Structure 1
Amino acid sequence: MEFRLALFFLSFYYLRPQDWVPGLAGLNLVEPIIGTWIIVLLVYRSQASPLPGLLRTPHDWLMLTYFVYIMWTTPDWNYAFSDILSLTVFYALTVQSLTSWSRIYEFLRWWNAMILAVATIALLSLIGIDPTGAVELTQSKAGRLSIGTWLHNNPNALGHTVVAVLPLSYLLFFWKGTVSGRFLIFPICFFLAGATAWQTESKGAFLVGAGTILLLFVIGRHRIVQISTIVIALTVGISGLSFLPRMEHMGDIQSDEGVIGRVMAWEMARTATREYPTGVGYRQFKALIDWVDGTRVYHDIPKATHCSYVSIGADLGGYGLFIYLALLWVSFRSVLFLKTGSDLEERCRRAILILLAANVVSGWMINRGYHTEYFLLIAVAGAVHRLRVAEYLAKKTEEENVEETDAGPEWLGAPVGGLAVAGSTGQGGVALPPSAFSVSPLLDRQEPHRAFRGQAKRTRRSKSEPLKAPWNRLGLIDIGVTMALTWLVFTIWDYVITMI
């Protein structure tokens, strides 16, 4: 039941029926969803967590830190509390609902399906089927495709969303897939996403799509294949991008009025980071620029930053940006170095990496720092991390029980006359019943743990090969990497301001 609610919320987030379905406009549906989800997890839960508890991974602790930091630095406590609390709760509920690899896989498939649903709604508006009022909105955007929902009411947002389907569908349906998946489902997904992205004419979306497709031939490939792919991408790939809509203007980006306006907003945001080390407050930064049009001067024109990192940096300062990047880093670390044991797990691992990479790159071109998508991505990576830690704990307990069984209880002493009694091992030890090998009643109900215990018995290690504990605590490496990432963001930020 809780997993179905996770899928329902994903549908609600992407389709946003309250924006275009008659009778739902203005209704606050978030609180009822949260309340129902919590009740289901507490009372009607169908599958317990493989790692019970709310604060069991670095992802959990960093998310709590992020929430506390935002509340500590905000000048508008009531607004920030209601907004960031719901995002944090959705993170926790999603983590608690993704309790097995099969659930994570189905969640990713549903994620892909919901983006395709958005793409279908957008394409249908081009032939007169327009439930969201997309036609008028598209016309106001100089013919660049948009739909009438808050999340995708501009072509850049729509483009950056749908391009993720291109590599994601490949991993879910084509890579080691069935015949129907490879030659029917994948081509349909690729066409819908590609056609929608083409109609948005979003230069940033084209770059993200090209980059994530490139990753498909880098992640998990032989070194020679990786190098060859990168070389081809830097030559043929870059030349091919010039044939996409509006990409021919990439060379004169410094004269693009839209880019100039964004850079002016970036400069104001950078000033805010220097004057306010902890930021101006959650969602408080507003860039107001002066714009000259011929002989007329327009004052205090609102201008969006169109960048997640710039927005987070201005609102929350360098410390808040550090936490934001730390959450991305631990999510990458959880899946990047994960050793999977099946094609299903490897498929999920690569898909999560692609979604994370798309979010990181898109963050430089659109502002989604506070969007639910970010928190759901961290939740999926956190769920994978919980499964990894639970697997280790199950194997560790299994091996300890096996060693105790081999040694035999100390009070039995040596075997008596070589006689084997009922229930004995025949070697002087007593054979324990199967229940003695259980980790706990709570863990026994978990599908992953049954598989983990069986695997531990099949891959029994010698004492010279101790079971290696997975990373599950923030260390100097994590702090150092996040500091380097924060420095890199500010360096790129300053470079763009200086060059443009």
Structure 2
Amino acid sequence: MLLAFFGIWRRPEGFKLDLLLKSPADYLVVAYLLWIIYTTGDYVSTAKAMIPFAGFYFASAIGLDSLKRMSTFLNCWVVGLIVVAIFGISTELGFELAPGSSSLTASFFGRLALNTWIYNNPNALGHGVVIILPLAYFWFVWKRGVLLRTLGFFGIAAGAYCVYLTQSKGAYLCGAAAATAGLLFRKARYVQVFLITVMMTAGIGALKLLPRMESLSAKEDGIEGRLMIWQLAYNAMQSTFSGEGWKRFEAWIETEQYGLIKKATHGSYVNVGADLGYPGLFLFVGILYACFRTVLQTRPAEDDLQAQRIQRALLTLVSGYAASAWMIDRAYHTDYFFIAGVCAAYHRVMSGRIASSSENSEEPVSAEVSDSAGAGGLTTGGDGGQTLVLAAESADVVPRDFSLSWRRLGLGDMTLIAVSFYAVVYCWHYLMTNFIQI
């Protein structure tokens, strides 16, 4: 992070403070971090703890100032997840790449886990890796050549087998949600209706065939315990309104075998609501809203596959995180701020192209956006005229069909965030009181 900020400071275009507030998500992230400091108290210590979160977000939002840099960033993300999947399945295949994973897996009764700090239980590994299924498709398979498609299918296969071995029911549902969001994106209405119908019938039937998915019932010990914790967290949010403070909510339940034990909240929305209260949960949901609106509203040129590919990759990441946040505690993980940061960077780049297009609209030159990452140049057309061919990351002259005119939060945005916030609270209350079998 320090190297990233040094690079931003030393880059030719320099650094200005107004770069910190260039997208709607920036304001929400700043408000969210300030609220954490305010509601937690112990202002100096809490502010110090927030510095890494702010750093990861703004280093991503400011540093990824071109589509080329965003592509490099997402390359690392996708390849990193494939490597994690390989480490996971290595335990099953007999060449353990993360020593100690076999004994750890045995302690979870055969459910795969990695002996690492992040993925040391089956649910964490499953939720971390499952997003590679839709992500690898859009990044390496969708409108790519044979070599990258081969890599993509390998990554999908490795990720699918790894998630299968974790037997994480939440991971299966999270992957299905992210894949559905990606497949529905920019499809014709009749295709969307068909895909939704398939997912609600054959899709649910396929999910039931996966390990431990034969039933989802509140009578199951694991789910029953989670719903009890959700009730405790809901009562804490209602009784305090502003929450108990960052990482201060603790859920203790009585068990016959172990007595009184401390349990995780098993849900990021639940975790934030108990810790930071209604305002904190409102801002947490608001940041996800800003990410979704940026990704869904942007209209790249039809021939700019790089911008479209990044758009679809971000949609799967945001969708996967939003779904996963119902099942595991990821509220204070850096991937939340990374995802928000790269969405804010995408917002900066794509909205900046609008400004560039308007400024250069009087120049009699046509712009064609190439999917390559090389530099642009002048080519001579058949009529003897010249056409400016731009690399996808260039922002000097761009076609008018790059459209992201959303620049600031308005009353409509606050209303939609409030509706989304209410939906989250409603679903939270409904699920903990009326769990439905599938």
Query: Scaled by the length of structure 1, what TM-score is found?
Result: 0.77
Identity of aligned residues (%): 33
Matched, 1:310 2:270: yes
Q: Partners in 2 of 1:395 and 1:233 — Cα distance?
A: 41
Local SS of the residue matching 2:394: helix
Q: After TM superposition, list the pairs within 5 Å mapping 1:117-136 onto structure 2.
A: 117-126=83-92, 127-136=94-103
1:380 is aligned, of 337, 342, 358, to: 342
Residues in 1 aligned to 2:171 and 2:30: alpha-carbon distance in whole angstroms: 32
Q: Does 1:348 align with 2:310?
A: yes
How far apart are residue 397 of structure 1 and its match? 2.5
Aligned equivalent of 2:292, options 332, 336, 343: 332
**Structure 2 equivalent of residue 80 of structure 1:** 46
Residue 366 of structure 1: CA displacement?
A: 0.6
Q: Select which of 66, 69, 74 maps to 1:108.
A: 74
1:365 corresponds to which residue? 327
CA change 1:192–1:79 in 2 (3 A) is farther
Q: Which moved more, 1:106-115 or 1:206-215?
A: 206-215
C-alpha distance in structure 2 between counterparts of 1:447 and 1:47, whole Å? 16
Partner of 1:165: 132
- Paired position in structure 1 for 2:223: 259
Counterpart-to-counterpart distance in 1, 2:90 and 2:74: 24
Match of 1:492 among 422, 427, 431: 427
1:328-370 CA distance string (max 9 Å, x none) = 1011101101100211111111110111000000000011011
Query: Aligned with 1:249: secondary structure?
Result: coil
Q: Give the conservation status (yes or no) of the 8 Å contact 1:279–1:313.
A: yes
In 2 relative to 1, CA 46–239 (structure 1 residues): closer, same or farther, beyond 3 Å? farther
Q: Which residue pairs with 1:286 in the alignment?
A: 250
1:448 is paired with a residue whose SS is coil
Letter in 1 for 2:111: R
Q: In the alignment, is residue 190 of structure 1 matched against residue 148 of structure 2?
A: no
Q: What residue number does 2:395 align with? A: 449
Say if 1:201 and 1:246, in contact at 8 Å, map to a contact too: yes
Q: Which residue of 1 aligns with 2:353?
A: 391
| Match in the other structure for 2:59 | 93
SS of aligned partner of 1:255: coil
Asked if residue 298 in structure 1 is aligned to residue 262 in structure 2, the reply is no
Contact 1:50-1:387 at 8 Å conserved across structures: no
TM-fit CA distance, 1:398: 2.5
Kindly provide the amino acid, as one letter, of the partner of residue 270 in structure 2.
V
Aligned equivalent of 2:180 = 214
Whether contact under 8 Å (1:340, 1:346) holds in the other structure is yes
How many residues matched?
405
Taking the aligned partners of 1:70 and 1:498, their CA distance within structure 2 comes to: 29
Q: Which has the larger radius of gyration?
A: 1
For residues 270 and 403 of structure 2, what CA distance do their matches in structure 1 show? 39
Kindly state the Cα deviation for residue 447 of structure 1 after the two structures are TM-superposed.
5.4
Distance in 2 between residues matched to 1:58 and 1:138, nearest whole Å: 43
Checking the alignment, whether the CA contact within 8 Å between 1:270 and 1:314 is kept in structure 2 is yes
Shift of 1:388: 2.0
CA offset digits 1:238-277 (Å, max 9, x no partner): 1111111111132xx2211111111111111111111111
In the TM superposition, what is the alpha-carbon distance from 1:132 to its structure 2 partner?
4.2
Query: Does the 8 A contact of 1:281 with 1:315 survive in 2?
Result: yes
C-alpha offsets along residues 35-79 of structure 1, whole Å, 9 cap, x if unaligned? 332222212x26768996211111111111111111111134344
2:412 aligned residue (477, 486, 500):
477
Q: Which amino acid aligns with 1:269?
A: A
Q: Does structure 2 conserve the Cα–Cα contact (< 8 Å) formed by 1:50 and 1:448? A: no
Partner AA of 1:483 in structure 2: A
Rounded to whole Å, the distance in 2 between the matches of 1:281 and 1:448 is: 44
What's the secondary structure of 2:281's corresponding residue? helix
Counterpart of 1:143 in structure 2 is 110
Taking a change above 3 Å as real, the CA distance of residues 348 and 47 of structure 1, as seen in their structure-2 partners, is farther
- Partners of 1:47 and 1:185 lie apart in 2 by 36
The one-letter code of the counterpart of 2:19 is G
Q: Is the 8 A contact 2:9 2:15 kept in 1?
A: no
- Structure 2: give runs of 5+ residues left out of the alignment: 365-391
- What one-letter code is carried by the residue in structure 1 that aligns with 2:24? P
- The match for 1:239 is 205
Partner of 1:432: none
User: Could you tell me how far apart the structure 2 residues matched to 1:469 and 1:240 are?
Assistant: 38
Asked if structure 1 preserves the Cα contact closer than 8 Å seen for 2:300 and 2:403, the reply is no
For 2:117 and 2:308, locate their aligned partners in 1 and report how far apart those are by CA, in whole Å: 34
Letter in 1 for 2:164: W
**Which piece of structure 1 moves more, 387-396 or 353-362?**
387-396
Q: d(CA) in 1 for partners of 2:67 and 2:5? A: 22
Deviation at 1:214, TM superposition (A): 2.2
Question: Relative to 1, partners in 2 of residues 1:128 and 1:395: Cα closer, same or farther, differing over 3 Å?
Answer: closer
Which letter does structure 1 place at the counterpart of 2:332?
Y
Does 2:221 match 1:275?
no
The 8 Å contact of residues 281 and 316 in structure 1, kept in 2 or not, is answered as yes
SS of match in other structure, 2:256: strand
Q: 1:55 to 1:89 in 2, by over 3 A?
A: same
Aligned residue number for residue 175 of structure 1: 142
Are 1:69 and 1:320, in contact at CA under 8 Å, matched by a contact in 2? yes
Distance 1:185 1:347 in 2: 16
Q: Identify if the C-alpha distance between structure 1 residues 51 and 340 changes in structure 2 by more than 3 Å, giving closer, same or farther.
A: farther
**Deviation string for 1:128-163 (max 9, x for gaps)?**
424342112111111111112221111011111111
The equivalent residue for 2:385 is none
- CA deviation string 1:153-180 (max 9, x = no partner): 1101111111111111111111111022
